[in-house]
Amino acid sequence: MKSPKIHLVDTGLAAHLRGDTDPHSLAQSAGIGALLETFVVQELRKQLAWSKQPATPFHYRSAAGREVDLVLELPGGAIAGIEIKAAATLGKADFAGLEALAEDANRKFMRGVLLYLGDHILPFGDNLTAVPINELWAGR
């Protein structure tokens, strides 16, 4: 199902309100995952504003509770899922939401990308790839 998800736009303010006022406390914070997700979603929404390829952003949650942080739907109905993880290493379980989305969307599913804190682009099965978050700004 497609559903909205609320993000506080200013992640710096959100971190400050949580008491994470320096880089060390932020890195150790239990909420770093939610802040990173919000930051990346907001950055991707900015990029959508000037992209030549229009897409509508959604959040995905299956009936079984599997989630994908961001789903981009193209005008023709094709979709891509983007999951965001505050981790430098990944395992198969980190792709569970994207796999559920791929199954539910069937032929409309084009690609699933897991953005993470690692250094390498890694394939993780059919149309699933792990990509370092910093690639969003690499200009390639």
Mean pLDDT for the chain overall: 87
What length is written for the chain? 140
Give 42-58 pLDDT, tens digit per residue.
888 888 888 899 999 99
Residue 99 one-letter amino acid: E
Query: For the CA atoms of the chain, what is the radius of gyration?
Result: 15
Give 63-77 pLDDT, tens digit per residue.
888 999 999 999 999
Give CA angle at 4 (134, 13), nearest 5°.
55
Q: How confident is the model at residue 30 (pLDDT cuts 50, 70, 90)?
A: confident
Task: Please report, for residues 8, 57, 95, 103, 111, the alpha-carbon distance to residue 106 in angstroms, rounded to integers and kept in the order given.
Answer: 32, 18, 16, 5, 11
92's tokens: 């198969």
User: Taking the alpha carbons of 63, 64, 67, 68 in that order, is the dihedral positive or negative?
Assistant: negative
Dist CA 132 CA 120 (whole Å): 6
User: For the residues 5-27, what does the mean pLDDT come to?
Assistant: 72
Total Cβ atoms within 10 A of residue 74: 14
